[in-house]
A = this chain, B = another copy of it.
Amino acid sequence: MVTIDLETEAGRREALRRMCSIRAFDSTAGELFADGEIPGFVHLYIGEEAVGVGACAALDEDDYISSTHRGHGHCIAKGLDPEGMMAELYGKREGYCNGKGGSMHIADVDSGMLGANGIVGAGPPLATGAALTAQVRGEQRVSLSFCGDGAVAQGQVHEAINLAATWDLPAIFLVENNQFGEGTPVEKQHNIENLSATAEAYGIPGITIDGMDVTAVYEAVSEARERARAGDGPTFIEADTYRFRGHFEGDPEPYRDEEDVSAWQARDPIETFAERLIERGELTEEEFEAIEEEAEREIEAAVENAREAPEPTPEEAYEDMFSQPVPEITDFARGDVRADGGDR
């Protein structure tokens, strides 16, 4: 059972809603970061919403995803609650990670979200492991890993694909080719036109799709999921997309031209999808606006909540290292550093 059935009108509207929710979340996160309300690094998903939403729509709630440093979109697409996410960005105890993770580490394994990841390329082995659990346990789940075009240069991504292909694991490798790895264009990172050619090294299907089209993503992932569930192994999907914002907030972007950005912005995945629904008569302009406004309100409420949520207490820093108490950390947590050399 898929999470959002894009074959239905209600499903398409829900997909639009989720994309708007991501857009609102990340636009707001960008502003809050600029205002100094959010510490650390923030990598925004604006422009790439169709990939996350199209992919997660095609998955069952029980399926797993692994994510990247640019993970907000994947989280919302997988059904995580923006309130808990925003609280996490604020480093609050109510956040998904009790404030310990921040933007780059939001996770909710119970919702099938194995974690954003600060290490480029680290997600695919994790997702492969979740697919391995499914195989070892005889469960009917699939596991999808998101990664960037830049990550395809990482050896561990290749190792993961090879394992999944050799063991016929129920895995899907979805590459979000947003044309850059930080400031380096994809052509300077790879020697191939389409990254989907990577699949050939592993004897699995590889396709390149329009990542600005939520339906195209949904269809490709649906097919891959069927294949995975049938025991036919993994699929490699390259979704062509673009990040409308800098690599991280504050990025001076010396590496690209305004025109390129505008050209891709003209293909905004939310606008174009909404237009299509409007053309088909499934949606009115007003309804679209209402969806957008609702998304913004939802995020504003999440911000209000996050602002007011209590900070963790300093002692909480010593929690969550291990499943069981460890004397070293227990001593530190008690402020119990004696180092007095014992009895004389």
Q: Interface digits, A184-195 against B, CB 8 Å rule (1 contact, 0 not)? A: 000011111100
Q: Judging by beta carbons under 8 Å apart, are A201 and B200 in contact?
A: yes
A158 at the B interface (CB under 8 A):
yes
CB distance from A28 to the nearest CB of B (A): 37
CB within 8 Å for A162 and B153 given contacts A197-B201, A203-B197:
yes
Closest B-chain residue to A162, C-beta based?
B153
A156 at the B interface (CB under 8 A):
yes
Report B-chain residues with C-beta under 8 Å of the C-beta of A192: 200-203
CB distance from A224 to the nearest CB of B (A): 16
Q: For the complex, what is the distance from the CA of A157 to the CA of B201, rounded to whole Å?
A: 13
A165 at the B interface (CB under 8 A):
yes
Identical copies of this chain, number: 2
Most chain-B Cβ atoms within 10 A of its Cβ — which of A154, A189, A192, A198?
A192
Interface residues of A in 192-216 (CB under 8 A from B): 192-193, 197-198, 200-204
Q: Judging by beta carbons under 8 Å apart, are B156 and A155 in contact?
A: yes
Report B-chain residues with C-beta under 8 Å of the C-beta of A191: 162, 165-166, 202-204, 233
A159 at the B interface (CB under 8 A):
yes
Top 10 nearest A-B pairs (CB, nearest first) are: A155-B155, A200-B200, A165-B191, A201-B201, A191-B203, A192-B203, A158-B158, A198-B201, A155-B159, A166-B191
